[in-house]
Structure 1
Amino acid sequence: MSDKDILEILGEKVALGQSATVTFEVAKLHTRNTLDVPIIIERSKKPGPTVLITAGIHGDEINGVEIVRQIIAKGINKPKKGTIICVPVINVFGFLNMDRLFPDGRDLNRVFPGSSNGSLASRVAHFVMKEIIPHVDFVMDFHTGGADRFNAAQIRITKGNPRLAELAHIFGAPFIYYSQNLNKSFRNACSKLGVPMLLFEGGKSFNIHDTITNTAVNGAKRVLHHLGMLSSKFKVSQPKTQAIIIEDSKWLRAKFSGMFKPTVAINSYVEKGDVLGNITDPYGSFNHFVKAPNTGYIFNVNESPIIYQGDAIFHISTKVKND
């Protein structure tokens, strides 16, 4: 990993030992106001890796934004060596509107690497890939579950990448989930350029959860410490448990519509046939028990009180290993 003396983003030059906040103008609104994405840059006097920390690709994933906010507020982003770039809210449109998507209905995480003359979402993706990623050695991107589905704290990586596996274990989330890079996702675009990424998932949309937030902030500190970038004023804790590696999994879908009450806690290990929750109707005449189809870990739970037939209600591992 290397670090140039001068980092230039959007024409603004930031030397070693300097700090800067560069703003990217996403769009000029019809009210003549501009909508900007702040990019917070902290550089040590000592050369080293450049780490990018991002959140808010989906505007409703507030917990991810809170994680990066805490990293900045606590000064974790001020490196002992190298450079840390933080973008707490990439999809500022969605964040303002409390919407997962861009105003044009596009999912930012499905348009990478983007285009300079494409849709609004595509232009933002293009900016990230053109102006920021060329400077970056490593990325930590923070997400949450959507549509009332609460994710256990987990790091998602592709299988067969020893470097990512090492960093995922150092991060120390309860689960490491092997998942393929989705076409046109931020992670896939970075992978194609040889920039490794740890993608964190935890919590659910429209929610800030203290345990999830603490897990993520502590994980980021461990990774930065491993890279020799974390200030010595911060303590680094050991993970509470050894990570469970989920090699394969499946979604349990509701067989009936109705009122839904999960009774199993997130992160739980369950045996085949265990009751996970129940689906009822408002009239007291129907009660369906949802049972585990196999032994495994429950690492996502739908917390919506009303569900429809076919809705994803539990994510359960089908193949795991301990390292």
Structure 2
Amino acid sequence: MELTSKHFEILGKTVIPGETKTIELNIATLHTMTELKVPIVVSRSVYDGPTVLLSAGLHGDELTGIEIIRQIIRRGISYPACGTIICMPLINVFGFVNQSRDFPDGRDLNRIFPGSASGSLASRFAYRIMQDIIPVVDYVIDFHAGGRGRFNVPQIRIEPDNPELDVLAEAFSTQFLLYSKNIDGSFREACDKLGKKYILFEGGKALDLNEEVIEEGIQGSMRFLDNLNMLQTTFSSQLPTKPMICIENSTWIRAQYSGLLHNFIEAGTYVNEGAVLGKISDPYGLIEEEILAPNNGYIICTNQAAIVFQGDAVYHISTKLKDE
């Protein structure tokens, strides 16, 4: 590896080779006149290499990714053997404080990228990220979790028909790979339009810390960095115990009735068409309606809420595997 001589600047601050620096992104002044800042931890190697952004907390109630990046920093994994690693463990500080998915203006930050310099509070913040941080980045791993009560088995999501992203997903190599198109206004779409290589990790559920999912995210990140020769030799990532299962299409099974949800199946399980996944009952012992699998497939998300309403998504099931 060659010693780097490149100048690296982010948010008006210079980070020299071999340095780790915490830089604060000012995002707003509250109605109490208190400034709200997002800490960004930047670590540079003395050797030349790519720049990787690890981001989480885009939705403030998704704690899994926050903890994954916290542990990556705490364990020293974020000190690269070459290149630069930028860690943003908590983007949506507002949502985190309020234990909410959204910004205080009621907007979903992950639906308004690339934002606007003169738009809403959330839009302005999205704009700052795209203008001040993403231009210096080559790769992005963005960590997410399921909504409240919805437990996602660890999975990577990427755009279909992109061989470069296939290679990166294989390097991360978690339990499942889902091909899904970019959503309008999403961080993923905005990064893709700028030519940044972006993969999205989903695992666990909102307002919850699941140790197995967290460790899966850490190990996958280490494998990803190792593939770029950025992982320090003091670390050794664990190889996956099973090949990654690639899903081309999937669908949600929705509740046909409102009532108490009794779940019989774990996320990650393969089921056959007609298998009983759970049941919905009324509180009075009069009705019990089974929820059946509409096809053979893997259950990649289960709704763990005790009460559901008609039309609620209760199970996410694969409908077509790659090369099937």
Pick the TM interval, shorter chain.
over 0.9
Q: Are 1:90 and 2:91 counterparts?
A: yes
Could you say which residue in structure 1 is the equivalent of 2:151? 150
CA contact (8 A) 2:11 2:133 kept: no
Q: Partners of 1:59 and 1:36 in 2: how far apart?
A: 15
Q: Secondary structure at the match of 1:233?
A: coil
Q: 2:269 corresponds to which letter in structure 1?
A: S
Residues 253-295 of structure 1: CA deviation (Å, up to 9, x unaligned): 0000000011011100000010000101111111111110100
| More off after superposition, 263-272 vs 6-15 | 6-15
Q: Percent identity?
A: 50
CA contact (8 A) 1:24 1:36 kept: yes
Q: Partners of 1:284 and 1:84 in 2: how far apart?
A: 56
Q: Partners of 2:92 and 2:299 in 1: how far apart?
A: 30
| More off after superposition, 125-134 vs 11-20 | 11-20
Shift of 1:321: 3.0
CA contact (8 A) 1:244 1:322 kept: no
Q: Partners of 2:313 and 2:282 in 1: how far apart?
A: 18
CA contact (8 A) 1:243 1:322 kept: no
Shift of 1:170: 1.4
CA contact (8 A) 1:19 1:42 kept: yes
Q: Secondary structure at the match of 2:322?
A: strand
Q: Partners of 2:305 and 2:106 in 1: how far apart?
A: 23
CA contact (8 A) 2:148 2:207 kept: no
C-alpha change, 1:14 and 1:105, in structure 2 (3 Å) is: same
TM-score, length-scaled by structure 1: 0.98
Q: Partners of 1:119 and 1:8 in 2: how far apart?
A: 27
Q: Secondary structure at the match of 1:293?
A: coil
Q: How does 1:1-323 map to 2 (within 5 A)?
A: 5-321=6-322
Q: Secondary structure at the match of 2:215?
A: helix
Q: 1:274 corresponds to which letter in structure 2?
A: A
Superposed CA RMSD in Å reads 1.3
Q: Partners of 2:73 and 2:277 in 1: how far apart?
A: 39
Q: 1:221 corresponds to which letter in structure 2?
A: M
Shift of 1:322: 6.8
Q: 2:249 corresponds to which letter in structure 1?
A: D
Q: Secondary structure at the match of 1:156?
A: strand
Q: Partners of 2:160 and 2:26 in 1: how far apart?
A: 37
Q: Partners of 2:130 and 2:116 in 1: how far apart?
A: 10
Shift of 1:30: 2.1
Q: 1:141 corresponds to which letter in structure 2?
A: D
Structure 2 unpaired stretches of 5+: none
CA contact (8 A) 2:54 2:85 kept: yes
